[in-house]
Amino acid sequence: MNDDMVIKETNIWGDYHNIRNVNKRVRLIKKKEILQKYPFIDHYKIYAYKPKNQRGPAKEEQTFIINYAYNYDIFADEEKFISDVNEIGLSFFKEKCIYNDKDAYKIIIYEPLCPIDLIKLK
C-alpha cells in the first residue's frame, strides 16, 4: 500500500443529497439503489481508500463495498447485477471464501480509482 494512503471504514455511498449536477445526482441515486435492489448484498461494509492527511469525509470516487453473501445464487441475477454496476461506472470482483465458518462469496463493488489489488487484501 502506498504510505500516503489508508483504507478506512466510511458511510459515504451514493450520498446524493447535496449534489446539484443532475447527471452526477442520478448516478449516485443508482449507486445507492444497488444496495437495496439485490438480495445477496446483505452483509456489507463501506470503505474508502483515501490520503492519510485528507480531512473530512471520503469522496464518492474513493469508496468501495466489501460484501459477504451466503445466499448468492451463482447465476441468478448476476448478469443483470454486473450490467447495472458497469452502467454507472463501477467495477465488480467476486471470489469464493469462508466467512464466519460458512461458505460465502466475497463481492467487491468499487470505483475504478480504487486499487483492487489492495482492496482484495482487506
The SS3 of residue 95 is strand
CA distances from 59 to 36, 55, 64, 114 (A): 21, 11, 11, 12
Q: What is the pLDDT of residues 8-61, one digit of tens each?
A: 999 988 888 888 888 888 989 999 999 888 888 888 999 999 999 999 999 999
- Whether residue 73 is predicted with pLDDT greater than 70 in this model: the reply is no
At residue 85, the pLDDT reads: 93
The domain total for the chain is 1
Range of the domain at 37: 5-121
Q: What is the pLDDT of residues 78-113, one digit of tens each?
A: 888 899 999 999 999 999 999 889 888 899 999 998
Query: Considering the entire predicted model, what is its pTM?
Result: 0.87
